[in-house]
Structure 1
Amino acid sequence: MSSPATSSDREKVVSKLPGWLRQNLKVRAAQHGVDIQDAVQQGIADWCRLASGPEIIDTSGADPFSTFLPEGQWDQFRSVAADRGVSLIQGLAQSVQVWLDTNPATDVPRPGITRRIIMCNQKGGVGKTTVTEGVSEALAEDPDQLYPVGVPHQLTKLLHDGGPIDEDHPQQVEHEPGGGLRVLMVDFDPQCHLTNQLGVEKLPLEGDSLTKHLAGEPKGDLKDLIVSIEDDHYQGRLHLLPGCIDGFLLDVRLSTVRAREAALDRALAPLENDYDIIVVDCPPSLGLTMDAAIHYARRRDGESPGRSGVVIVVQAEDSSADAYDLLTDQIESLRTDLALTIDYLGIVVNLYDGRRGYIATSSLEGWVAVGDPRVIGLIPDLKEQREAVRANRTLLSYAPKCQQSVSMRAIAREIS
């Protein structure tokens, strides 16, 4: 049946669709950037023009489905369905399938140059590891499923409008396909927080490690150390290069290495062809280790701006601002001394809790006021991340709809 719509040129149509077909329609429409009602409209038009009806579709268990169609299209559809001797539900299902067949799933675009992102801050405890994990998971999620994503720039809009940030109020979300990228997380911190957080064993001190490859003393192939994060959401696309505590000695060992700033480039180069993006969880350091990470994130010849670079993770408190100044001074020194182009991808304000009062709220406003780099994400201080670690689960699979997961996906979209 149909009923008048608010628009003068469309009418509301109510019918039924099987749940699986409705889900396929939602995902495919999102992949193509098409409104669902436009997809259904095109599918019905194409179905009506067919010389004969397509294959019968199993519509058992169909649920109510409504959309808006141009005036007169539903009447034409009913007439064609009657001529073909099929029910309206069957005809609608066939129409949707016609549109799906005409608009196949889009391929995930692969970068010509493997992208490199470093998560960094000289200050420890700001949550670099948490952001590394969450953003990497979002980049690797299933491209044939829809996930809740925070609306971009919502934080900035709220601050510019003068409204308060209410972390207890669910942020506005859109549902978008997963990133579908092949992602390698690199635990570059000798404290091995990322490795531990994902429930993976640290590399043994006497064995091979990233540190040994950086120092020019490898004991094997770095690929052999990589661990796949097994979860249906990632389908083999999310991997980890685990950490080893021998990283505590890395600054000393790098001091004797030729072209030490490029040590991480040399170590990770053999892995790059297997991944679309490599995300490095950096240690809280201003030493040679950090120099190597910053150099790795530089813009390479032929690479577009903003594809690789630095994400700075901070908290809404004063000590993060001091550490930020030290880190950006180091980045600027490398830019000048080595003539590098290093892109700032943005600032992430982590573990935000407005209940801490003026220090938190004023610091948040201060980060937004930086402007360049801009704030690309606000992650609330909630329990789900800690629960996921305790359960040895990834955050986005443990609590896919929590505000932290929604925020991680928003950051991933900002940098992808």
Structure 2
Amino acid sequence: MARIIGVANQKGGVGKTTTAINLAASFAVLEFKTLLVDADPQANSTTGVGFDLHNVTHSLYDCMVNDSLGRDVILKTEIPNLNLIPSHIDLVGAEIEMINYPNRETVLKNILEPLRNDYDFIVIDCSPSLGLITVNALTAADSVIVPVQCEFFALEGLGKLLNTIKIVQSRLNMELEIEGILMTMYDGRLRLCNQVVSEVRR
């Protein structure tokens, strides 16, 4: 049964998608059956593993809004053992379309649960926001990795994300664990980087 890992930070440009792709690809290279779920409307994970968005006819949007089955939108990547549920710009509108759904926070969980037995790992590249799509990802996940860039404003917004995770843990997914804070773009020669790491550890 797959372990579902979310990669989340509402701040853009912190290496979230790079982390998600490399984590999923690493699992695949180690011969674990892996599914990468692109839950970011920018669809950078989709293009990052080699797909042209013009050729993506069905995506996570269709699962979340049009009731398509997860397995019906899965694409095989060129990396052995790595499959993808692609994203699309249409996902931007999904939060509005889902606003009146009963149990709207568990839509993604219901999509992924039937796929757990097909994979060893499912990695979710979360949307760079704290909206409904990200809440869905956190509700579906067993654990979450939070990439944080080593720069001056790195901790800005981290508290909000951690608070959102606590809310999800208390109301929607009591089993959700924080896998860790991943420092990205780290250069040990720079004092600022080391200061940021010290602050995060505190």
Is this a same-fold pair by TM over 0.5?
yes
In the alignment, what sits opposite 1:293?
137
The correspondence for 2:73, drawn from 209, 218, 225, is 225
In the alignment, what sits opposite 2:155?
321
Matched, 1:130 2:18: yes
* Long gaps (5+) in structure 2: none
The correspondence for 1:192, drawn from 43, 50, 56, is 43
1:321 counterpart SS class: coil
In the alignment, what sits opposite 2:63?
213
Alpha-carbon deviations, 1:188-207, whole Å to 9, x = none? 100011111122122768x4
Higher relative contact order (CA 8 A, sep 6+): 2
Q: 1:345 to 1:252 in 2, by over 3 A?
A: same
Matched, 1:271 2:115: yes
Stretches of 4+ aligned residues off by more than 3 angstroms: none
Q: Is the 8 A contact 1:313 1:347 kept in 2?
A: yes
Q: 1:360 to 1:288 in 2, by over 3 A?
A: same
2:153 counterpart SS class: helix
Q: 1:287 to 1:182 in 2, by over 3 A?
A: same
1:312 counterpart SS class: strand
Give the counterpart letter for 2:61 in structure 1.
T
The 2-side partners of 1:225 and 1:251 are apart by 20
Q: Is the 8 A contact 1:203 1:209 kept in 2?
A: no
The 1-side partners of 2:54 and 2:99 are apart by 23
Normalised by the length of structure 2, the TM-score is 0.91
Query: Which region of structure 1 is more displaced relative to structure 2, 221-230 or 127-136?
Result: 221-230
Q: Is the 8 A contact 1:314 1:349 kept in 2?
A: yes
Normalised by the length of structure 1, the TM-score is 0.46
* Long gaps (5+) in structure 1: 1-112, 142-178, 298-307, 371-416
Give the counterpart letter for 2:70 in structure 1.
L
Q: 1:213 to 1:224 in 2, by over 3 A?
A: closer
Alpha-carbon deviations, 1:267-306, whole Å to 9, x = none? 2223222111100000111111111111001xxxxxxxxx
In the alignment, what sits opposite 2:90?
246
Q: Is the 8 A contact 1:204 1:244 kept in 2?
A: no
In the alignment, what sits opposite 2:197?
364
RMSD: 1.9
Give the counterpart letter for 1:212 in structure 2.
D
Percent of aligned positions that are identical: 32
Give the counterpart letter for 2:78 in structure 1.
E
In the alignment, what sits opposite 1:336?
170
